[in-house]
Each structure stands twice: as C-alpha cells, then as structure tokens.
C-alpha cells in the first residue's frame, strides 16, 4: 500500500458533479482501504479486532466494501443490524450497542444472533432474567473520563447518559452473579476527536482492572474516537504510537495474569471521514456592506456538522482554483441561519462555480434531512477509478412517500 494517502482530484470531483449533478456526496473507496490498512498495521502487535461504527455512514455499498476489507460491524440500532446482515456480515461479527432503547430491540437482536452490548443496570438485569440460558453479553462501562472535542461528542464523563458507571461495579457484579450472566466482554467509549494517546491508555488501564471481576472475559472494547485532521496542520491521534502502547499493555496484563484478551476498537469517522467530499454549486454571490456571501445549493439539511458541532470543513473552489483569494461567508439555501464558514479565504467565487467540502464522509449524508422539503443528494462511490452511483438523488415522490391522504 502506498505511503501517500489517496485523494480524489478536483477533475474527478468536477466530472462526478457534471455527470450526477449537485449537491453530491462522493466517497473514495481506496481511502477507506488505506485507513483500514493503517489500523491493522498499527495494532499488529496485539490480537485486535475492528468494528466499523456504521452510524457514521450506512450506505449499503459502504458496508459491503468495509466487510470486504475484513472489518466487523458496530451497530447502535436494530435497523443498522439489519443493514449489516444485508451487507453480508455474519451475525457473530456484528456488535449491537444501543442506548436508552426499548428492551424488545435487544430481544430482536438476540433472535438475529448478533452480539449484545448492554449499558444500563435495569436492562442488564432484565436481560439476565429473560435469557437465563447464559446468552453471552458485553457490558458498557462509563469510565468517568472527560475526553473529546467538546461535551456534545464526549461520552465517558460522569454526567453522560452512556454506559454503567464504574462506581456501580459492585451492583454489576451482583446482577451478573444472581442472573448467572456470561460476560464475554467489557466496553468503554469516551468520546470523539481524541488526540491524546494517554486518554486511551488511561481508559485501558481502568478496563484491565475491571476485567478481574469477569472470569469468562474474552475481550476489552475500547471504542474509538480517533481524531482525524480537519485542516492543514491539525493534530491527529498517533495511531502507530497508540497501537504500540496498547499492545504493550495487553502483553503486560497477559504475563501478570495468564489471561490473553482481545483488543476491540470501533472506528467510524477514522475510516470514512477523509474519504468523503460534498460537491456543491455556488447559486449566488451576494455583497452587503458587512459581508460577501456565497450561497450554495445545499445547507444544514445536507451537512449539519458546522452548525451542530461548530466543526471545520476545508472548502475549495474547484472550478476557479487560480482566482484571486477573497474572504467569503459560505451559507446554504435553507430558511435558517445555516452558515458553513465565516470569513473563509477562497479563490474568487463566481455564480455557477463548484465548491467542495472535504472530510465529509462521516456524519454528512448520514445526518441529512428533508428540511424545507428539499431533496437529499445523490451518493457516488469512486472505486478502481470509476464513479459509481450508490444512491440516486431524491425526487418529489420521495417527499410524499409514507404520507396518507385523509383530507
């Protein structure tokens, strides 16, 4: 595999936009493979398993491609499980990690034969009562570690809704004992955009201590949250260093206890963020006494991350890359304040120019909507140099689908 991360060229993105229209999500399959290769090499020193966190991007073709690479699947809803099965993942390679869901979703997941990850004491107790035959479970613990870019994406702190607090470990042990549960794994996930290797190691040391309570344990799932760079010079998780340190920690634990455990990870954004591009068209360049706005044929109905998380996405003018740079406020066509960027320096933008948002593969289309009764965009996968349509652009009939005429 090349040491240079593969990227799509402006010409390839332009060709896709001319062929399929805008706005358009474009994904680069080889970039996903490159990221997956980094992971497998980095953690080759331990018995590691990778479960793609498909909530980041669930297009069936992406799931099939990730399955082809050899990954497993992490799902947070029953429908994601069903999509995973459709994509060809065997049930035993799917981990179901819902949160605050109805118990019947767990029961349905058991019927489908997938692995179950439980993050509340009441569900753990009820599960043990229903499945007294010892159906194996994983238990999600809240490590009380504050990590991630901001509180919206931090999930392991003391006030998070996710997981069973490590301070309740005695209650967990009592439920496991009284219900004769077979705990095959323990799980933690502290958040997203974590650049510090030490945060993962702190969580791992805690989980290794917790493992002493579960004699049948086979794995420790450290979730993910690997940070990817969103702008030039951005820090990112040192995956290679993390893999080395995690391997060393698991080996020390094996030597001291005689127990060899698998290390599980759930990369989502790490695998698909940088593979994705959102190509849009400049509808209008609007000058006011205060700003110069570029209004594009998209909005937070297609890419909500800048508005919801204050996330930064690099923007490029791929039609007029050599134009004189000017500061622009890039906004959408939604009847809300949907500002993608303020004061962003771009080569001169003219009406009809194509702009591209980079790092749009994760939580882009996946969080899109039909707000303002606008259509969701098409999706294209570049594979082996060929642009393949993997989701058609919505049409007016899609807005009516499911509606019933009663008046």
In CATH, what number is assigned to the domain containing residue 328?
Answer: 2.40.37.10
| DSSP label of 226 | B
Can you tell me the distance from the alpha carbon of 275 to that of 186, in angstroms, rounded to the nearest whole number? 31
Q: Which of 92, 21, 87 is nearest to 54 (CA)?
A: 87
Residues 73 and 194 in one domain: yes
Can you tell me the distance from the alpha carbon of 67 to that of 52, in angstroms, rounded to the nearest whole number? 9
Helix axes 103-112, 78-86, angle to 10 degrees: 20
Residues sharing a CB contact under 8 Å with residue 334, sequence separation 6 or more, in sequence order? 299, 300, 301, 371, 372, 374
Residue 238 lies in a domain: yes
Tens of pLDDT along 279-326? Answer: 999 999 999 999 999 999 999 999 999 999 999 999 999 999 999 999
Can you tell me the distance from the alpha carbon of 56 to that of 271, in angstroms, rounded to the nearest whole number? 9
Residues 178 and 157 in one domain: yes
Residue 38 lies in a domain: no
Contact 305, 367 (CB under 8 A): yes
Residues 182 and 259 in one domain: yes
Tens of pLDDT along 187-227? Answer: 998 766 787 888 889 999 999 999 999 999 999 999 988 99
Residue 133 lies in a domain: yes
Residues 259 and 331 in one domain: no
Can you tell me the distance from the alpha carbon of 265 to that of 268, in angstroms, rounded to the nearest whole number? 10
Query: Where does a domain end: 272, 295, 316?
Result: 272
Q: What is the pLDDT of residue 190?
A: 76
Give the count of domains, the chain: 2
Q: Which domain holds residue 340?
A: 276-400
Residues 53 and 84 in one domain: yes
User: What is the pTM assigned to this prediction?
Assistant: 0.94
Local confidence pLDDT in tens for the 407 residues of the chain = 556 899 999 999 999 999 999 999 999 999 999 999 999 999 999 999 999 999 999 999 999 999 999 999 999 999 999 999 999 999 999 999 999 999 999 999 999 999 999 999 999 999 999 997 778 999 999 988 765 554 444 444 567 788 899 899 999 999 999 999 999 999 998 766 787 888 889 999 999 999 999 999 999 999 988 999 998 889 999 999 999 999 999 999 999 999 999 999 999 999 999 999 999 999 999 999 999 999 999 999 999 999 999 999 999 999 999 999 999 999 999 999 999 999 999 999 999 999 999 999 999 999 999 999 999 999 999 999 999 999 999 999 999 999 999 99
The token pair that represents 367 in the structure block: 């969080």
Q: What is the pLDDT of residue 254?
A: 97
Residues 165 and 152 in one domain: yes
> What residues are annotated to the active site?
335
Q: What is the pLDDT of residue 157?
A: 56
Residue 71 lies in a domain: yes
Q: In this structure, what CATH number is given to the domain that contains residue 47?
A: 3.20.20.10
Residue 145 lies in a domain: yes
Query: Where does a domain end: 272, 306, 330?
Result: 272
Can you tell me the distance from the alpha carbon of 93 to that of 70, in angstroms, rounded to the nearest whole number? 10
Residue 407 lies in a domain: no
Residues 181 and 294 in one domain: no
Question: Helical H runs in 70-180?
Answer: 78-86, 103-112, 121-130, 169-179
Identify the bridge partners of residue 73 per DSSP, sorted by sequence position: 52, 94
The token pair that represents 329 in the structure block: 């406020």
Can you tell me the distance from the alpha carbon of 72 to that of 69, in angstroms, rounded to the nearest whole number? 9
How many CA atoms lie within 13 Å of 107's alpha carbon, on the beta-carbon side? 7
Chain centroid, CA 272 distance in Å? 7
**CA dist 21 → 145, 297, 378, 389 (Å):** 45, 11, 8, 11
Residue 15 lies in a domain: no
Residue 185 lies in a domain: yes
Question: Which contiguous run of DSSP H or E holds residue 116?
Answer: strand 115-118
Query: Where does a domain end: 213, 243, 272?
Result: 272
Residues 280 and 388 in one domain: yes
Residues 291 and 357 in one domain: yes
Residues 316 and 358 in one domain: yes
Can you tell me the distance from the alpha carbon of 363 to that of 382, in angstroms, rounded to the nearest whole number? 19
Residues 259 and 325 in one domain: no
Residues 264 and 155 in one domain: yes
């Amino acid at each position: 595999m090349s040491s240079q991360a593969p990227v799509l060229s402006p010409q390839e993105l332009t060709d896709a936009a001319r062929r399929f229209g805008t706005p358009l999500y474009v994904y680069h399959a080889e970039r996903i493979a490159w990221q997956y290769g980094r992971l497998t090499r980095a953690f080759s020193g331990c018995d590691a398993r990778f479960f793609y966190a498909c909530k980041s991007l669930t297009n069936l073709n992406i799931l099939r491609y990730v399955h082809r690479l050899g990954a497993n699947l992490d799902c947070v809803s029953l429908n994601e499980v069903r999509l995973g099965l459709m994509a060809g993942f065997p049930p035993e390679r799917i981990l179901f990690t819902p949160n605050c869901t109805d118990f019947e979703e767990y029961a349905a997941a058991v019927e489908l034969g997938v692995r179950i990850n439980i993050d509340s004491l009441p569900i753990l107790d009820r599960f043990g009562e229903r499945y007294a035959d010892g159906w194996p479970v994983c238990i999600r613990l809240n490590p009380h570690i504050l990590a991630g870019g901001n509180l919206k994406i931090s999930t392991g702190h003391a006030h998070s809704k996710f997981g069973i607090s490590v301070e309740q470990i005695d209650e967990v042990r009592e439920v496991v004992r009284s219900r004769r549960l077979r705990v095959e794994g323990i799980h933690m996930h502290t958040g997203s955009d974590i650049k510090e290797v030490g945060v993962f190691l702190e969580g791992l040391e805690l989980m290794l201590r917790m493992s002493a309570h579960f004699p049948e344990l086979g794995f420790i799932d450290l979730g993910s949250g690997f940070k990817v760079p969103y702008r030039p010079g951005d820090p990112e998780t040192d995956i290679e260093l993390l893999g080395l340190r995690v391997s060393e920690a698991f080996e020390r634990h094996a030597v001291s206890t005689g127990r060899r455990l698998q290390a599980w990870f759930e990369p989502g954004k790490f695998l698909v963020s940088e593979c994705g591009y959102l190509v849009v068209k400049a509808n209008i360049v609007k000058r006011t006494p205060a700003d110069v706005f570029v209004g594009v044929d998209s909005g937070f109905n297609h890419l909500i991350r800048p508005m919801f998380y204050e996330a930064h996405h690099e923007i490029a003018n791929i039609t007029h890359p050599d134009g004189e740079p000017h500061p622009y406020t890039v906004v959408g066509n939604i009847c809300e304040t949907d500002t993608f960027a303020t004061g962003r320096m771009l080569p001169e933008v003219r009406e009809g120019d194509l702009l591209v948002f980079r790092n749009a593969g994760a939580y882009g289309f996946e969080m899109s909507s039909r707000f303002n009764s606008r259509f969701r965009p098409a999706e294209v996968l570049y594979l082996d140099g060929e642009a393949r349509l993997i989701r058609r652009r919505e049409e007016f009939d899609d807005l009516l689908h499911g509606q019933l005429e009663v008046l």
